[in-house]
Homo-oligomer: A and B are copies of this chain.
């Protein structure tokens, strides 16, 4: 093994190691910025609909008004769940983790509506962006109340569609906008673990669904997408900000990991955190109950004071989603609804200049040894 190859990894999880080119986004320049195709994620979250952002990620440019309208209509037409997939969702247990349901549904759709020259990667991307909220909520309501819901909600936006199916009624404008902004914030993040998994999968020329299925499974882990669920579990333990401060100090003393803080790539701050924090505050105000928000803010203060650690997107997403009435188990599936735009963009990019992703390993096991047949052991 050469020194050159040694330097690339060891057990370092490829941190800071450049493994390929991308023109989709930059993460963490100057330790704190995030640009999608050159546009600041903060501008996009404040001024663009998520569908504009998905279009930008997938096509490289922002849509015109008519392109956006066409695109939203196209996505909206993809919300129906085929009967075979409904039947499968009925057979998945009521106590399944929603991420395992998403992973299975994506894989099953790859059997039901396989990738072909006609049903190509662009069409499948539209389909997954349109259908994923329907899949989750069809399964959810069936197993919670036995109701087979109509998955065609009237809202134009994916955020509105999701919230409507969840609550069985139109969301408030505030809820829809807050959820829409969160989708923009979660849409893309370079060679993160789930995106990298999707690139590894399709680099063998596996089908599109294999890439997205691998990504969903990878995202489900608490060190990745699952972090927002862990953050919620933390926040809701506490009865008020003082209780939260005491509790977090205790956890820190016990050297426990506090989920939702710090980031491998951002060194200064996570540019997405202030945006979602703003929405969390607005939602708290509209509810007339800011307990969760104040608990979250106190934890943020304690973590900065004690550990110089900043919240990442996952931390204030937890209180924001909770205040929209979203069950904790759906936090990571929402991440799927959104990141599908990023994953799809990366799959397209990987395929356009493909090379098998097949690294090497440093062997640290036993030396060569002579085989002995089982009767001699």
Contacts and interface: CB of A to CB of B under 8 A. Distances in A.
Interface of A: 1, 4-26, 35, 37-40, 43-44, 47-48, 52, 60, 62-65, 68, 84, 87-88, 91-93, 96-97, 100-101, 103-104, 107-108, 110-112, 114, 190-194, 196-197, 200-207, 209-211, 213-214, 216-226, 264-265, 353, 355-369, 371-375, 377
A371 B44 contact: yes
A180 B158 CA distance: 50
A103 B224 CA distance: 22
A328 to B, nearest CB: 17
A203 B200 CA distance: 14
Contact of A223 (B4, B35, B356): B356
Contact of A16 (B7, B210, B355, B360): B360
B9 A20 contact: yes
B17 A8 contact: yes
Contacts of A358: 13-15, 191-193, 196, 264-265
A271 to B, nearest CB: 13
A329 to B, nearest CB: 13
Nearest to A372: B62
The oligomer's copy count stands at 2
27 contacts: A14-B357, A15-B359, A19-B360, A20-B361, A22-B361, A25-B365, A35-B368, A48-B373, A65-B377, A84-B93, A87-B91, A88-B92, A88-B108, A91-B108, A103-B110, A103-B210, A104-B108, A196-B200, A197-B201, A201-B217, A201-B218, A204-B220, A205-B226, A206-B220, A207-B220, A210-B216, A213-B214
A367 to B, nearest CB: 6
Given A202-B221, A204-B226, A360-B265, A8 B18 contact: yes
Given A18-B6, A222-B205, A365 B23 contact: yes
A203 B360 contact: no
Contacts of A222: 204-205
A365 B18 contact: no
Scoring A92, A93, A103, A196 by chain B CB atoms within 10 A of each residue's CB, the highest score goes to A103
6 pairs of A and B residues whose beta carbons are closest in the complex:
A204-B221, A210-B217, A23-B365, A206-B221, A38-B366, A214-B214
